[in-house]
Amino acid sequence: METICPKQFMIVSGKTILEHSIDAFEKNVGIDEIAVVLHEDYICEFQRFIQKNNWKKVKKIVCGGKERHDSALAAINAYPQFYDDNLIFHDAARPLVSARIINDVINALELYNAVTVAIPATDTIYQVDDSQRFVTNIPDRTFLQRAQTPQAFKAKTIRKGYEIALKDPDFQPTDDCGVVVKYLPEEKICIVRGEEKNMKITYHEDVFLMENLFTLQ
């Protein structure tokens, strides 16, 4: 039976996508500590990455959950309840996050309890019906932005949001900012300007584009 390699472990420009993503935070002076959330099957392999790359800031390796929000909760719970610093969540499939984006997120957390990264939508977006075949609305893209990561929060803020969310039997999370929007509506979420190159690798075709972007750096 063929084993499918998770996209985070695909090689781009001489390293795995995961290694490139961690490198970006390891090198940033504003980052004190890194916790990596992984499926338990890949923890041993990741420990070899730590030695290979001589990472000093990777302090925790946490087993991920079945759903995305389970993995986010695992990361939050990796820190004690009294921990009240900044938590920055990044998708490992975005290996080209820049130092500028990370710095802007850190700076925004000095003023806001929740921060995200996004870029303006340039394409027309269709809202469709349940069948996914018919257009029901065309939102004004002036008010639409495409979400990226990192997303960042004061620890007490995202912890409180999840505490409320988990009591809701209809909880259907999209991402961590979605938890804040729905369950802490009084909290403003500051948007940091993202970059087109901070793309997420979703399809195999994206790897070839990512190779070219690394070459241009």
pLDDT attached to residue 114: 98
| pTM for the model | 0.91
Average pLDDT of the segment spanning 13-18? 92
Q: Residue 2 above 60 pLDDT?
A: no
Tell me the two tokens of residue 158: 């995202």
* Assigned domain for 150 exists: yes
Which residues neighbour 56 within 8 Å (Cβ) at sequence distance 6 or greater?
26
Domain assignment of residue 61, yes or no? yes
User: Please, which pLDDT band fits residue 82 given cuts at 50, 70 and 90?
Assistant: low
Task: Read off the CATH number of the domain in which 96 is found.
Answer: 3.90.550.10
Q: For residues 150 and 89, give the distance between their C-alpha atoms in angstroms, rounded to a whole number.
A: 5
pLDDT at 185 over 60: yes
Q: How many domains does the chain have?
A: 1
Range of the domain at 183: 7-216
Residue 28 lies in a domain: yes
Residue range 106-152, pLDDT digits in tens: 999 999 999 999 999 999 999 999 999 999 999 999 999 999 999 99
Does a structural domain hold residue 167? yes
Tell me how far CA of residue 46 lies from CA of 10, 80, 115, 162, 178, in angstroms.
13, 24, 28, 28, 30
Q: Which residue has the higher pLDDT, 93 or 206?
A: 93
- 124 within a domain of the structure (yes/no): yes
Mean of pLDDT over the chain: 92
What ranges in the chain are assigned the alpha helix state H?
17-26, 43-53, 68-77, 99-108, 155-165, 176-183, 204-216
Of residues 124 and 67, which shows the higher confidence score?
Answer: 124
In-domain check, residue 2? no
**Is residue 78 one of the residues assigned to a domain?**
yes
CA distances from 62 to 53, 84, 86, 113, 160 (A): 19, 19, 18, 24, 21
Other C-beta atoms lying within 10 Å of the C-beta of residue 95: 29
Contact 151, 117 (CB under 8 A): yes
> H or E stretch including 119?
strand 114-120
Position 153 in a domain: yes
Q: Which pair of structure tokens corresponds to residue 171?
A: 């909880």
202: pLDDT confidence band, cut at 50, 70 and 90?
A: confident
